[in-house]
Amino acid sequence: MFICDCHCDTLTELYKKNVGLYENEQHFDIKRQMELGGGLQFCAIYVPTQEFRYGGGLRYTLKLADKYLQEMKKMQAAGLDVFQVRTKTDAREALNHKAATMLAIEEGGAIDGSLEALRCMYELGVRAMTLTWSNRNDIADGVNEEISGGGLTVFGRQVVAEMNRLGMLVDVSHIAPRGFWDVIETSTKPIIATHSNAKALCSHPRNLDDEQIKAIVKNNGLVGVTFAGQFLEQDYNDACIDSVYRHIDYMLNLMGDDDHLGFGSDFDGISHPPYNIHGVQDYKPLIEYLSAKGISDATINKITHENVISLLERVL
Q: Is the pLDDT of residue 267 over 90?
A: yes
State the pLDDT confidence band at 51, using cuts at 50, 70 and 90: confident
167-177 pLDDT, tens digit each: 999 999 999 99
State the pLDDT confidence band at 49, using cuts at 50, 70 and 90: confident
172-224 pLDDT, tens digit each: 999 999 999 999 999 999 999 999 999 999 999 999 999 999 999 999 999 99
What percentage of the chain exceeds 70 in pLDDT? 100
Report the pLDDT value the prediction gives residue 55, as an integer from 0 to 100: 76
Q: Is the pLDDT of residue 56 over 90?
A: no
Across the range 260-266, mean pLDDT stands at: 98
Report the pLDDT value the prediction gives residue 76, as an integer from 0 to 100: 97
122-149 pLDDT, tens digit each: 999 999 999 999 999 999 999 999 999 8
Mean residue pLDDT across the chain: 97
Pairing of strands 126-130, 3-8: unpaired
85-100 pLDDT, tens digit each: 999 999 999 999 999 9
State the pLDDT confidence band at 246, using cuts at 50, 70 and 90: very high
State the pLDDT confidence band at 31, using cuts at 50, 70 and 90: very high
